Structure 1
Amino acid sequence: MKRRDQRGLGLALTVAAVLLGGFWIARLPPARVSEAAVADAASGADVDATPGVDAGVDAGATAPDAELRRQFEAAVVLLNSQQHAQAASALHRVIERAPRLPEAHVNLGFAMLGLQRPALARNAFDNALVLKADQANAYYGLALAHESLGDLELALGAMRTYLHLGHAENEAHLRRARAAVWEWESQIAARRAASAPGR
């Protein structure tokens, strides 16, 4: 019995997945931050590392904290409207005031991805993970940065970590992450098969 050649189907699926990659970046949610995290980051205190915890509005926030919160939210608006250069500038100002705010580093990473600067994006995501090792969306962005830099093995590891930590994330983002894992596993397997002895 003859086996059908599945390479055409595999190629078509890979091309479709790659084309959707740019669409993913445009639809990424920026990191949100609580008032308590802003106050802690501005004061230099450790940021709460419990995933999914939103401390809500801090009624005792000081005026500098409120200004920092306003700057952060303005940067998020710029990022959501695809104004990546302006968002990056605004986020640099936030990070100058609150260098221990992991959400600001994550959003800076997404701004750098939008500017097609994957090495700078990778650094921003790494900085966020130093501050908060379980910042799920930092792993998502780190995976995209590694993919842009051509390292699918590291991209795959980061995206698997996102899926492990991101059980409370938006289902649409989880689906995109699973699709990326499938795509990268397929590409890695194809590369290994192509470089196997006897080919």
Structure 2
Amino acid sequence: MNDKRLRNIVFFVFATLVLGTVFSLLPQSFVTGHKHKYQDSAQDPSYWRSDSLTPKLEPQQQLQQPADYVSGALDPAGHAKTAQQNQQLQAFNDAVTLMQYGHPEAALVKWHEFIGRYPNVVEAQVNLGYTFIALEQWDFARSALEHALDLNSNQANAYYGLALVAEAGNELRLAKEYMQTFLHLEHDKAFDNKARAALWLWEEKLKPDYVSQNTVTEKDVTEKDEAKH
């Protein structure tokens, strides 16, 4: 009986030594992940992709590279910061998606929630303004876009939105000024043709000949009414 117990103990010790030796030979990447392989295969999450509606982060909130995600997984504080930024931009893109699919009422709710949590993201204020434009709530749109300019006076797309608001109110001279400012500031040429076409139209409408030909006076209305009778 004692011999059997002794043999079992010897076998257990031998098996432990063998398994320990095997595990010591395994690549460390099997446990923690190989840093270079993560970097080679990692892709930026969709909410980091460049998009005209993606918020421009403050200098202290620079976009993280794939390598940063690896180190973040090993650093609890860094991981928490990255998770918070991811959550912020995902919430932003959720609201953008609702706008793009033509649901301004639902987008409005999302923008108010987002701005309540992150009041200093300029692009959120701009998109809030554009959401009000889609809803034809011009005064609210103007207020949101002007607030965006309070946060960043060089926010080009805020001027574009204000030009649309001014046009809706038939304030063509003001619309022209806003659109000219937009063209002066905007480096992305995607909206240049639209902006220049709008400027040309407004300039035509502001010409004296156009105004005289298209202005209906009270006298004109009276004469037309008399002609009908």
Letter in 2 for 1:176: K
Q: CA RMSD in A?
A: 2.3
State the Cα deviation string for residues 77-136 of structure 1 (Å, max 9, x = none). Answer: 111111111111101111101111110011111111111111111111111111011111
How far the C-alpha of 1:192 sits from its partner, in A, is 7.7
Q: Distance in 2 between matches of 1:111 and 1:78?
A: 10
1:132 maps to a residue whose letter is: N
In the alignment, is residue 139 of structure 1 matched against residue 169 of structure 2?
no
> In 2, Cα distance between the equivalents of 1:32 and 1:107?
10
1:166 is aligned, of 177, 186, 191, to 186
Relative to structure 1, the CA distance from residue 168 to residue 55 in structure 2 (aligned partners, 3 Å threshold; closer, same or farther) is: farther
Tell me the TM-score normalised to structure 2 length: 0.59
Q: Which position in structure 1 is the counterpart of 2:195?
A: 177
Structure of higher CA gyration radius: 2
**CA contact 2:108–2:128 (8 Å) conserved in 1:** yes
The aligned length equals 149
Is this contact kept in 1: 2:159–2:179, CA < 8 A? yes
How far has the Cα of 1:30 moved from its partner? 5.9
Match of residue 171, structure 2, among 151, 154, 161: 151
Question: Do the aligned residues in 2 keep the contact of 1:75 with 1:87 (CA within 8 Å)?
Answer: yes
- Structure 2: distance between partners of 1:183 and 1:159: 12
Change (3 A) 1:80 1:191: farther
Aligned structure 1 segments of 4 or more residues deviating by more than 6 angstroms? none
Separation in structure 2 between the aligned mates of residue 57 and residue 168 of structure 1, nearest angstrom: 23
Give 1:31's aligned amino acid.
Answer: L
Looking at secondary structure, tell me which structure has more helix per residue.
2
* Partner residue of 1:32 out of 37, 54, 58: 54
**Relative to 1, partners in 2 of residues 1:74 and 1:178: Cα closer, same or farther, differing over 3 Å?**
same
2:90 to 70, 73, 79: 70
Q: Specify whether residues 91 and 191 from structure 1 end up closer, same or farther in structure 2 by C-alpha distance, changes over 3 A only.
A: farther
Residue type of the partner of 2:207? A
Which amino acid in structure 2 is aligned with residue 117 of structure 1?
Q
**Which structure 2 residues correspond to residues 1-199 of structure 1 after superposition, within 5 A?**
31-34=53-56, 37=57, 47=58, 55-57=62-64, 59=68, 60=78, 61-170=81-190, 173-190=191-208, 194=212
Q: Can you give the 5+ residue segments of structure 1 that lack an aligned partner in the other structure? A: 1-28, 38-46, 49-53
Q: With a CA cutoff of 8 Å and minimum separation of 6, indicate the structure with the bigger relative contact order.
A: 1
Cα distance between partner residues in 2 of 1:169 and 1:193: 31
